[in-house]
Structure formats: structure tokens, C-alpha cells
Structure 1
Amino acid sequence: MLSAIKVSVAEHEREVLISIAFNIGVGGSTGSTFLHRLSAGERKGCAEAIML
């Protein structure tokens, strides 16, 4: 899942992403809206998608 991220992330952001992937599964997180938004550089949109 981390290889799908196209922007650099801080260590605490990486840890959150790993936690989310653990909870919803790597397959679910790889194609997720929050990951697409993060890779597009939309951190606020990513956070909103995670909260959905």
C-alpha cells in the first residue's frame, strides 16, 4: 500500500496509513478514495475521505 503513495509523507502520517491498511485490509486501502486524494497532494481531502 505504501508503494502506491505518490507524495512524501511524514513518519506519523505513514504510521496512520499503516494502521488504516491493517484495519480495512491492504486491498481495500490500495484502491481507496483517501489514497487517491493523498497521492494527488490533497491532504485535506484525504483526511475527509478517511473520516467517511
Structure 2
Amino acid sequence: MQSRMAPSRREREARCVSPPPPPAVDKEMTAAQLPPSPYVELLFVNCIFYMNSKL
């Protein structure tokens, strides 16, 4: 289940933060591959709330 959700969440995060430099994107990708940390979860939650607020 989570493996299927991972790509969509990555895409959502990429859409939320479109202007960041390449190194930042690499860090986000590695963080997404690693076990979920509270910081990464906060990023995902903030992104989800941001997307919901735009709808």
C-alpha cells in the first residue's frame, strides 16, 4: 500500500515545491526512500494540506 502511495506523494511534493534547486530534490528523493522520519512526514502533511486548500 505505502509503496504505491510513495510515487504519488513524491509527485505532489514536487508540484508543491516546483522551484527548488537539484540538490534539494535529491535530498527529498533519498528521504522518501529512507524509513519515514517525523520531518519527512511533516513535509508530506504540509503538502497535502496545501493541495487541499487550493482545491
Smaller-chain TM-score bracket: 0.3 to 0.5
TM-score of the aligned structures, taking structure 1 as reference length: 0.46
TM (norm. structure 2) is: 0.44
Bigger helix fraction: 2
Bigger Rg, which one: 2
Asked which structure has the greater RCO (Cα within 8 Å, sep 6+), the reply is 2
